[in-house]
Structure 1
Amino acid sequence: MLEALLVTFLWSTSWVLIKLGLRADLPSLTFAGLRYCLAFVCLLPWLLGSPEHRATLRRLPRALWGQLLLYGIISYAVAQGAQFFSLGLLPSATVSLVLNLSPLAVAGLAAGLTRERPAGWQWVGVGLSAAGTLLYFLPLNLAGAGLVGLLAAGVGMLANAGASILGRAINARSGLSPLVVTTLSMGLGSWPMLAAGWLWQGPATLGPLQWAIIAWLAVVNTALAFTLWNRTLQTLSAVESSLMANTMLPQIVLLTWLCLGEAVGVKGIIGLVLVTLGVALVQWSSSGAQGAARDEGPGVPQASGE
Structure 2
Amino acid sequence: MPATPSEIREPPDPPSPSLWSMMNVSRRTQLLATGAATVTVVLWASAFVSIRSAGAAYSPGALALGRLLSGALVLGVFLLVRREGLPPRSAWRGIAISGVLWFGFYMVALNWGEQQVDAGTAALVVNVGPILVALLAARLLGDTMPPRLLAGMAVSFAGAVTVGLSMSGGGGSSVLGVVLCLLAAVGYAGGVVAQKPALGHASVLQVTTFGCLVGAVACLPFAGQLVADAADAPLSATLNMVYLGVFPTALAFTTWAYALSRTTASRMGATTYAVPALVVLMSWLALGEVPGLLTLAGGALCLAGVAVSRSRTRSARVVAAAPQPEQTRESA
TM-score under structure 1 normalisation? Answer: 0.72
In the TM superposition, residue 93 of structure 1 has moved relative to its aligned partner by 4.6
Distance 2:143 2:39 in 1: 35
Match of 1:211 in 2: 238
Question: What code does the residue aligned with 1:13 have?
Answer: S
Residue 74 of structure 1 is aligned with which of 92, 101, 106?
Answer: 101
Distance 1:105 1:165 in 2: 10
Q: Are residues 107 and 291 of structure 1, via their aligned partners in 2, closer, same or farther at CA, if it must alter by over 3 Å?
A: farther
Question: What code does the residue aligned with 1:164 have?
Answer: V
Match of 2:219 in 1: 193
Flag as ranges the 4+ runs of structure 1 deviating above 6 A.
Answer: 138-144, 236-244
Residue 151 of structure 1 is aligned with which of 142, 165, 179?
Answer: 179
Q: Are residues 69 and 261 of structure 1, via their aligned partners in 2, closer, same or farther at CA, if it must alter by over 3 Å?
A: same
Q: Is the 8 A contact 1:92 1:256 kept in 2?
A: no
Distance 1:260 1:244 in 2: 25
List gaps (5 residues or longer) in structure 2.
1-30, 322-332
- Report sequence identity in percent: 22
The answer on 1:95 being equivalent to 2:122 is yes
In the TM superposition, residue 145 of structure 1 has moved relative to its aligned partner by 5.0
RMSD: 4.1
User: How do residues 104-143 of structure 1 correspond to structure 2 at under 5 angstroms?
Assistant: 104-113=131-140, 118-132=145-159, 135=162
The answer on 1:163 being equivalent to 2:191 is yes
The answer on 1:11 being equivalent to 2:44 is yes
Count of residues in correspondence between the two structures: 280
Larger radius of gyration: 2
Give SS of 1:122's match. Answer: helix
Question: What code does the residue aligned with 1:45 have?
Answer: V
Distance 1:185 1:91 in 2: 29
Residue 281 of structure 2 is aligned with which of 237, 241, 254?
Answer: 254
Q: Is the 8 A contact 1:97 1:275 kept in 2?
A: no
Distance 1:120 1:6 in 2: 26
The answer on 1:31 being equivalent to 2:63 is yes
Distance 2:187 2:159 in 1: 22
List gaps (5 residues or longer) in structure 1.
293-306
Q: Is the 8 A contact 2:120 2:164 kept in 1?
A: no
Structure number with higher relative contact order (C-alpha < 8 Å, ≥ 6 residues apart): 1
**Which deviations, in whole Å up to 9, do the C-alpha atoms of 1:243-267 show, x marking residues without a partner?**
9755433221111233335454433
Match of 2:325 in 1: none
**Which deviations, in whole Å up to 9, do the C-alpha atoms of 1:32-53 show, x marking residues without a partner?**
11111121012112213334x2
The answer on 1:273 being equivalent to 2:305 is no
Distance 2:267 2:190 in 1: 23
Distance 2:169 2:235 in 1: 38
Distance 1:92 1:260 in 2: 13
Match of 1:303 in 2: none
Q: Is the 8 A contact 1:104 1:282 kept in 2?
A: no
Q: Are residues 221 and 110 of structure 1, via their aligned partners in 2, closer, same or farther at CA, if it must alter by over 3 Å?
A: closer
In the TM superposition, residue 144 of structure 1 has moved relative to its aligned partner by 6.2
Distance 2:77 2:249 in 1: 15
Q: Is the 8 A contact 1:103 1:283 kept in 2?
A: no
The answer on 1:41 being equivalent to 2:69 is no
Distance 2:116 2:286 in 1: 18
In the TM superposition, residue 6 of structure 1 has moved relative to its aligned partner by 5.7
Q: Are residues 96 and 137 of structure 1, via their aligned partners in 2, closer, same or farther at CA, if it must alter by over 3 Å?
A: closer
Residue 177 of structure 1 is aligned with which of 186, 190, 203?
Answer: 203
Distance 1:65 1:268 in 2: 42
Match of 1:300 in 2: none
Distance 1:184 1:245 in 2: 23
**Which deviations, in whole Å up to 9, do the C-alpha atoms of 1:178-217 show, x marking residues without a partner?**
1101110100112322424747x99413342232222222
**Which deviations, in whole Å up to 9, do the C-alpha atoms of 1:120-175 show, x marking residues without a partner?**
22332344345445555669999865332222222222221111111101112xx2
